[in-house]
């Protein structure tokens, strides 16, 4: 089964599936600013577009572009701003 997920009134949508490594989603974010919480360790990879990210414990925004990635531990919160519609891969473990 491919799960369909919507967050922030449909401003973020994702499709969930099983990969060789575990659970993954591919998704798209509308232009905007979001706070996400993790329940597992997440690796986020920008597919197209751009994400400005404030990682847990950081006060700085860091920009991630196509092909770049970052990780967030379980049970953390992080902020994301996207200046253009942005697609991503999220790998959970």
Q: Which residues bind its own copies (CB under 8 A)?
A: 1-2, 4, 10-11, 13-15, 17-21, 24, 26-28, 30, 47-49, 84-85, 87, 89
Give min distance, CB of 92 to its own copies, in A.
12
Give min distance, CB of 61 to its own copies, in A.
20
Closer to its own copies by CB, 14 or 38: give it. 14
Q: For residue 1, which of 20, 23, 33 has the smallest C-alpha distance?
A: 23
Closer to its own copies by CB, 17 or 61: give it. 17
Within 10 Å of residue 52's Cβ, how many Cβ atoms? 15
Give min distance, CB of 26 to its own copies, in A.
4
Closer to its own copies by CB, 31 or 58: give it. 31
3-state helix, strand, coil in the chain (%, to 5): 0, 65, 35
Q: For residue 53, which of 89, 81, 83 has the smallest C-alpha distance?
A: 81
DSSP class of residue 73 equals -
């Amino acid at each position: 089964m491919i799960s369909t997920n919507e967050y922030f009134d449909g401003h973020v949508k994702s499709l969930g599936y099983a990969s060789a490594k575990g659970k993954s989603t591919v998704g798209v974010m509308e232009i905007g600013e979001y706070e996400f919480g993790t329940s597992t360790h997440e690796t986020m990879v920008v597919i197209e577009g751009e994400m400005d990210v404030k990682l847990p414990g950081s006060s700085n925004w860091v920009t991630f572009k196509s092909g770049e990635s970052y990780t967030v531990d379980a049970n953390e919160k992080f902020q994301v701003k996207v200046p253009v519609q942005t697609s991503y891969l999220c790998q959970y473990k």
